[in-house]
Amino acid sequence: MLLPAKAEVARQLRRYRVWERIMLATPTDRRVRATFEDSGYTLCVLMGKRCAREAADAAERYLRTTLAAYLLEETERPGRRARRRRGPPAADRRSPAGR
């Protein structure tokens, strides 16, 4: 798993929080909302999350822990299931050419 530099995560998290405050102060300004959503999307991409709030939480955890602790924490989080393979077991799969 590739993770961004902590300095970049900190910079994007600060940007997200600043635009969040501005958006809450002026919720009807479309340009402010668009910039806030853009900053949230950037944070989502950096942290590999689908929701800006989850990305902000993940960024805060990432910044306050070591890399190893963050990765361990991410793999142990509830709701993360191991992916199961679908289809027949590997032993039953045969190539038509290998009859």
What digits encode the pLDDT tens for the residues 35-55?
A: 999 999 999 999 999 999 999
pLDDT, residue 3, reads 79
**Which residues neighbour 93 within 8 Å (Cβ) at sequence distance 6 or greater?**
87
Percent of the chain beyond pLDDT 70?
76
Mean pLDDT of 76-92: 59
Segment among 9-13, 46-50, 85-89 with least mean pLDDT: 85-89
Tokens of 3: 């993770």
